[in-house]
Amino acid sequence: MVAANLEVKGMPELVEMIQEMGQKANKIQNQALLKAAQPILDDAVTTTAFSDRTGRLRKALKVSRPKTSGGTKYVLVGIDKGDISEVFYGKFLEFGEKSAA
């Protein structure tokens, strides 16, 4: 059996560079998601699929911050389910309503 001595230099620097690359990639992913969602938001704002006499609902449509679930990163476009603002009714248009039977 032959024994060998191996000395690796620069390992802490390499680890730091890899971590920085991961952070930059995360930022680029977020920017790409937001940019890709913009045409969808634009379409939702200009659609004739729903009536918005005051224009407030269309102004309230937005792109969420990037989220992650099950290892998948995504954004939501439209009305937030938890919206309790003056345009809360938009979530009924988007998600429907449950009726008590």
Residues whose CB falls within 8 Å of the CB of residue 94, separated by 6 or more in sequence, listed in order? 78, 79
pLDDT tens-digit readout, 35-69: 999 999 999 999 888 888 888 889 889 999 999 99
How many whole angstroms from its chain centre is CA 85?
A: 21
Residue 82 has pLDDT above 80, yes or no: no
Q: What is the pTM of this model?
A: 0.68
CA distance 66 to 70: 14
